[in-house]
Amino acid sequence: QVQLVESGGGLVQAGGSLRLSCAASGRTFSNYAMGWFRQAPAKEREFVASISLSGSNTYYADSVKGRFTISRDNAKKTVYLQMNSLRPDDTAVYYCAAAWTYRYTSREQYEYWGQGTQVTVSS
């Protein structure tokens, strides 16, 4: 079992930045690849980014490539999502999740989930 708790969401103006954190507890954090998803109102939950067990490999959705950066600190059992150049369409609840490989982009492939943190980008 892995417990995940996100933090760092909030309200930001378009063009601004936020850094989300996801703290893990329970089973060995470094055994899992980690991902970030988001869900806007009335929309499906969508993949944002993922990172491998060691942090050496990452993968991004086209919509955030070049603006968002995923990273992890296995000693702190934390994964981060640095979000720059935010746009109103980035507004969503952001979730972190754990999986066996960073190549997974479907929510069904992720085993453990956090409760989410709200990100609101005003225009």
6-51 per-position pLDDT tens digit: 999 999 999 999 999 999 998 788 899 999 999 999 999 999 999 9
Report pLDDT digits (tens) over 38-97: 999 999 999 999 999 999 999 999 999 999 999 999 999 999 999 999 999 999 999 999
Secondary structure string (H, E, C) spanning the chain: CEEEEEECCEEEECCCCEEEEEEEEECCHHHCEEEEEEECCCCCCEEEEEECCCCCCEEECCCCCCCEEEEEECCCCEEEEEECCCCHHHCEEEEEEEECCCCCCCHHHCCEECCCEEEEEEC
